[in-house]
């Protein structure tokens, strides 16, 4: 059982919780994720690690309420418990393996979409502390889905915000801002995009025009998250890879996004049935 | 003569009824049936059955206790060699082990050793009989990675010898394949698995769930900062294999691991649980092992019509004879000498069928079995909206990659000798992580051998 230490609604639909998980907090690295099973009869839900506090033995997760399971997770108050929190899972970001001294002076740009902001935070902080230059493009549908603005500002050199409807920051898409920066002659050594699959696909198309090296973090379906089930398989460079153990970050130019998006819809008909009245799909 | 009595049949749920539920197929013997079946044992001086058992349970000895009505005594005899008898009695391939060696089997039917073992173990559970005597604490700590059959067996033996044992399990429930892999209708979870695990805990073994060894903590850290004197790795089989044919990533293609984990560990068959499972109307299961049978019979119970597609003949099916027999009784269709060449897609990227080719048996291959070869031009399409691949697994590289000095072979299996000793001092391994996918009882045997080796090593220290 894992106790919730604090809880804050970042927006009416996005919840941030700090959870006691000492072993996980001690071992988490930027780029990795965890799995929460909130209640005995609940699903195992993969979530990104937004923050970890090694001294206090806590990890921070951010959940957007989109269905039954995320609603249950977000409903847990300080003092309540999750049945299970397991991780860290997946490979750390590539730069974690680079000697810290070599990161100083490198230029990174992060493209975060909606809830994808949460996993960008520990990556940007790590690089910022290592002396790298970090720009962040943060996009969301509307102002209500823009999160962690102040925290992000504190770990980067430049923060650009855009929303689809213009209710916060620039009106437009993250690809537009990225294109502008690159057209203005900004040079980045590495870009990282984390957000909805469709956003990552379009960021990839934009970045390709400029030859910008790009990693994407794939939020595929998973059950165990340890390589055992293969629900997370994605085609990368023509080969089947398991996002949970070989990812979640991959070279964007090798990823078959259309297949990945289709595979994400595997249980959509069942999820649409409000609280899973019938889960045994007969299509 | 005792051996004139025919083998006592075991009562089972009606196939037509059980095809629609997840309750256990086999009811097991009652007292009278067990006593009668036990009376068939010749109590051989040179019991071949004991040699046939990977953990050498003293079979004639426990059976003679049943004959004399001392079921508790029978349970004590079994407990000296097996920590999971209620499980082994249900899932061991007895026909190739103990019962395969039984002298009665030469001319007639062997003693139903598995069913008798199960009877004794179920009696112990119902009567709360537990054997938790152990040596006083010797102050040494051993970490066990994985709470499947090999880990539980290793932990049990070490705890009995006085070790302080902690088992690390990656999933949220202990049991490994007993929990996620083998279905409820073959191995009831709450009644049987949970209770066997309670027996292990009663010896003082701690089980820490939600720990990914290789990520949450490394083997090196267990031996270092966490001050364990030795580590046993029983992390299991790992990543599901796929065929590498076109269409395997279509929506509706699953590994048997995924399908079974959703149903068994996550209890998707129970509408009270949130995890979804997709069954479709017509399921094709590819493979012929126990896991394939489990997946096929699970899909059937969830309402689908099911075919098993296997490239060799019935004779080569690696599954236990009883599972194949049960599957047939329940209405699973077997398509032998058939091999998939492509998963067919509808216009939206979902499975609509499986293109197969007919096979014939050619010359014997390295395994001694005749190698199936495709019959040119014999392709045909099988209608299916779900395909479940049950082709075995390859080792999970996580522990090997994060443990310094631990050798693996070219397949990625951890290299260990007969006693479980690896290339890294104080690190032992056994079960599927060493052998590749095998059986519960072989894994248990490996766990017990490693426990003995760890004891010898640490006693010298």
* Interacting residues of B83 by C-beta distance below 8 A, sequence separation 6+: B152, B153, B156, B157, B196, B199, B200, B444
Same-domain status, A113 and A183: yes
Residues in chain B: 461
Q: Are strands A107-113 and A190-194 parallel, antiparallel or unpaired?
A: parallel
Query: Which tokens go with B270?
Result: 């129970």
Interchain proximity A271–B276, CB inside 8 Å: yes
Same-domain status, A104 and A14: no
Per-residue confidence band for B1, with pLDDT thresholds at 50, 70 and 90: very low
Q: Which of these three, A217, A250, A275, is where a domain ends?
A: A217
| Integer-rounded Cα radius of gyration of chain B | 23
Question: What mean pLDDT do residues A124-153 have?
Answer: 95
Is the torsion defined by CA of A89, A92, A97, A99 positive or negative? negative
Q: What are phi and psi of B401, to 5 degrees?
A: -70, -20
Residue numbers in B near A274 (CB within 8 A): none
For residue A233, tell me if it sits in a domain: no
Interchain proximity B249–A265, CB inside 8 Å: no
Question: What mean pLDDT do residues B302-307 have?
Answer: 96
Q: Are strands B230-233 and B427-429 parallel, antiparallel or unpaired?
A: parallel
Same-domain status, A102 and A82: no
Q: Does residue A274 carry a pLDDT above 50? A: no
Interchain proximity A224–B170, CB inside 8 Å: yes
Q: What are phi and psi of B180, to 5 degrees?
A: -90, -25
Residue numbers in B near A20 (CB within 8 A): none
**Model pLDDT, residue A280:** 53
Same-domain status, A98 and A83: no
Nearest CA in chain B to A231: B258
| DSSP code of residue B275 | -
Cα→Cα distances B77→B123, B156, B394, Å: 14, 16, 36
Q: Does residue A100 carry a pLDDT above 70? A: yes
Q: What is the pLDDT of chain A when averaged over all its residues?
A: 93
For residue A278, tell me if it sits in a domain: no
Question: What mean pLDDT do residues A151-159 have?
Answer: 96
Q: Which of these three, A89, A119, A134, is where a domain ends?
A: A89
Question: Nearest CB to A281: which of B216, B257, B279?
Answer: B279
Q: Does residue A273 carry a pLDDT above 80? A: no
- Domain hosting residue A84, numbered range: 2-89
Query: Which tokens go with B452?
Result: 């003995």
Q: Are A205 and A199 in contact (CB under 8 A)?
A: no
Same-domain status, A81 and A148: no
CATH code for the domain in which residue A144 is found: 3.40.50.80
Q: ipTM of the assembly? A: 0.92
In angstroms, the CA B193 to CA B184 distance is 10
- A-to-B residue pairs, Cβ atoms closer than 8 angstroms: 143
**Model pLDDT, residue A272:** 65
In angstroms, the CA B414 to CA B408 distance is 4
A196-223 confidence digits (pLDDT tens): 999 999 999 999 999 999 999 999 999 9
Interchain proximity B212–A262, CB inside 8 Å: no
| Helix ranges, B302-407 (H) | 321-330, 398-402
**Model pLDDT, residue B461:** 63
CA distance A54 to chain B (A): 13
Residue numbers in A near B209 (CB within 8 A): 84
CA distance B270 to chain A (A): 9
Same-domain status, A67 and A144: no
Contact with chain B for residue A87, Cβ under 8 A: yes
Q: Does residue A281 carry a pLDDT above 80? A: no
**Model pLDDT, residue A282:** 46
For residue A36, tell me if it sits in a domain: yes
A50-93 confidence digits (pLDDT tens): 999 999 999 999 999 988 889 999 999 999 999 999 999 999 99
Same-domain status, A70 and A108: no
CATH code for the domain in which residue A30 is found: 2.40.30.10
Per-residue confidence band for A118, with pLDDT thresholds at 50, 70 and 90: very high
Same-domain status, A59 and A119: no
Q: Does residue B286 carry a pLDDT above 70? A: yes
From the list A4, A15, A60, the residue with the least C-alpha distance to A33 is A60
Same-domain status, A17 and A46: yes
Question: What mean pLDDT do residues B418-437 have?
Answer: 94
For residue A155, tell me if it sits in a domain: yes
From the list B53, B414, B374, B22, the residue with the least C-alpha distance to B236 is B414
Q: Which of these three, A200, A217, A234, is where a domain ends?
A: A217
For residue A56, tell me if it sits in a domain: yes
Per-residue confidence band for B414, with pLDDT thresholds at 50, 70 and 90: very high
For residue A103, tell me if it sits in a domain: yes
Mutate to test the interface with B, among A225, A258, A280 (most CBs of B within 10 A): A280
Same-domain status, A115 and A34: no
Give how many domains chain A has, as a whole number: 2
Q: Does residue A276 carry a pLDDT above 90? A: no
A161-183 confidence digits (pLDDT tens): 999 999 999 999 999 999 999 99
Chain B segment 377-416 residues within 8 A of A by beta carbon are: 385, 396-398
Per-residue confidence band for B366, with pLDDT thresholds at 50, 70 and 90: confident
Interchain proximity B271–A37, CB inside 8 Å: no
Question: What mean pLDDT do residues B351-372 have?
Answer: 90
Same-domain status, A18 and A105: no
Q: Does residue B83 carry a pLDDT above 90? A: no
Mutate to test the interface with A, among B22, B259, B265, B274 (most CBs of A within 10 A): B274
**Model pLDDT, residue A31:** 95
Question: What mean pLDDT do residues B261-273 have?
Answer: 94
Interchain proximity B303–A278, CB inside 8 Å: no
Nearest CA in chain B to A32: B215
Interchain proximity B280–A86, CB inside 8 Å: no
Interchain proximity A230–B278, CB inside 8 Å: no
Q: Does residue B32 carry a pLDDT above 70? A: yes
Q: Does residue A240 carry a pLDDT above 50? A: yes
Q: What is the pLDDT of chain B when averaged over all its residues?
A: 94
Interchain proximity A262–B251, CB inside 8 Å: yes
More confident residue, B133 or B110: B110
For residue A248, tell me if it sits in a domain: no
* Interacting residues of A123 by C-beta distance below 8 A, sequence separation 6+: A30, A31, A93, A95, A110, A192
Same-domain status, A109 and A187: yes
| DSSP code of residue A126 | H
CA angle B132, B133, B135 (to 5 degrees): 130
Question: What mean pLDDT do residues B360-378 have?
Answer: 89
Chain A segment 259-278 residues within 8 A of B by beta carbon are: 259, 262-263, 265-267, 270-271, 276-278
Interchain proximity B257–A235, CB inside 8 Å: no
Mutate to test the interface with B, among A41, A83, A223, A272 (most CBs of B within 10 A): A223
For residue A62, tell me if it sits in a domain: yes
């Amino acid at each position: 059982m894992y106790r919730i230490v604090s809880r804050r609604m970042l927006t009416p639909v996005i919840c941030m919780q700090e959870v006691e998980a000492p072993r996980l907090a001690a071992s988490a690295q930027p780029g990795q994720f965890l799995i929460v099973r909130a209640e005995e009869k609940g699903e195992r839900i993969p979530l990104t690690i937004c923050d970890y506090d090694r001294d206090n033995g806590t990890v921070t997760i951010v959940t957007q309420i989109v269905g039954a399971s995320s609603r249950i997770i977000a409903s847990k108050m300080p003092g309540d418990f999750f049945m299970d929190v397991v991780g860290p899972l997946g490979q750390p970001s590539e730069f974690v393996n680079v000697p810290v001294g070599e990161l100083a002076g490198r230029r990174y740009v992060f493209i975060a979409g909606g809830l994808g902001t949460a996993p960008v935070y520990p990556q940007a902080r790590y690089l910022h502390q290592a002396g790298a230059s970090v720009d962040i493009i943060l996009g969301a549908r509307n102002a209500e889905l823009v999160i962690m603005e102040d925290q992000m500002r504190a770990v980067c050199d430049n923060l650009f915000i855009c929303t689809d409807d213009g209710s916060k920051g620039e009106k437009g898409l993250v690809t537009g801002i990225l294109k502008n920066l690159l057209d203005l002659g900004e040079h980045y050594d590495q870009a990282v995009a984390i957000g909805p699959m469709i956003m990552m696909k379009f960021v990839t198309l934009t970045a390709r025009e400029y030859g910008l090296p790009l990693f994407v973090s794939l939020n595929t379906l998973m059950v165990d998250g340890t390589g055992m089930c293969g629900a997370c398989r994605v085609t990368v460079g023509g080969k089947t890879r398991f996002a949970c153990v070989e990812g979640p970050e991959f070279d964007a130019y090798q990823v078959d996004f259309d297949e990945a998006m289709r595979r994400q819809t595997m249980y959509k008909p069942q999820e649409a049935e409000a609280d899973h009245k019938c889960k045994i799909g007969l299509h | 003569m005792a051996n004139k009595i025919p083998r006592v049949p075991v009562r089972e749920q009606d196939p037509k009824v059980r095809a629609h539920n997840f309750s256990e197929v086999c009811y097991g013997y009652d007292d009278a049936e067990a006593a009668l079946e036990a009376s068939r044992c010749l109590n051989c001086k040179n019991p071949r059955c004991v040699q046939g058992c990977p953990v050498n349970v003293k079979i004639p000895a426990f059976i003679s206790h049943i004959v004399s009505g001392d079921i508790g005594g029978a349970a004590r005899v079994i407990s000296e060699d097996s920590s999971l008898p209620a499980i082994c009695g249900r899932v061991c391939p007895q026909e190739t082990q103990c019962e395969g060696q039984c002298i009665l089997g030469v001319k007639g039917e062997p003693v139903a050793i598995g069913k008798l073992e199960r009877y004794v173990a179920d009696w112990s559970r119902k009567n709360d009989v537990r054997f938790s005597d152990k040596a006083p604490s010797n102050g040494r700590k051993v970490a066990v990675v994985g709470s499947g059959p090999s880990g539980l067996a290793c932990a049990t033996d070490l705890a009995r010898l006085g070790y302080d044992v902690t088992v690390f399990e990656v999933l949220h429930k202990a049991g490994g394949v007993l929990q996620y892999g083998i279905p409820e209708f073959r191995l009831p979870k709450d009644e049987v698995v949970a209770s066997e695990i309670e027996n292990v805990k009663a010896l003082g073994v701690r089980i820490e769930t939600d720990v990914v060894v290789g990520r949450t903590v490394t083997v090196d850290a267990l031996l270092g900062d966490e001050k364990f004197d030795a580590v046993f790795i029983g992390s299991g089989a790992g990543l599901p294999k796929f065929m590498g044919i076109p269409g395997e990533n279509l929506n509706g293609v699953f590994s048997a691991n995924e399908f079974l984990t959703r149903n068994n560990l996550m209890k998707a068959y129970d509408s009270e649980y949130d995890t979804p499972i997709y069954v479709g109307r017509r399921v094709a299961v590819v493979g012929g092992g126990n896991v394939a049978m489990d997946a096929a019979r699970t899909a059937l119970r969830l309402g689908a019509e099911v075919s098993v597609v296997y490239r060799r003949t019935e004779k080569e099916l690696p599954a236990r004879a009883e599972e194949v027999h049960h599957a047939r009784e329940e209405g699973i269709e077997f398509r032998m000498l058939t091999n998939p060449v492509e998963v067919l897609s509808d216009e939206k990227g979902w499975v609509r069928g499986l293109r197969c080719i007919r096979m014939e048996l050619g010359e014997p291959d390295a395994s001694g079995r005749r190698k199936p070869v495709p019959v040119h031009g014999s392709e045909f399409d099988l209608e299916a909206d779900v395909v479940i691949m049950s082709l075995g697994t390859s080792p999970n590289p996580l522990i090997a990659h994060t443990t310094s000095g631990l050798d693996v072979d070219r397949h990625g299996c951890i290299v260990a000798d007969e006693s479980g000793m690896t290339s890294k001092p104080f690190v032992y391994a056994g079960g599927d992580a060493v052998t590749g996918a095998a059986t519960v009882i072989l894994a248990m045997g490996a766990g017990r051998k490693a426990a003995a080796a760890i004891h010898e090593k640490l006693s010298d220290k």
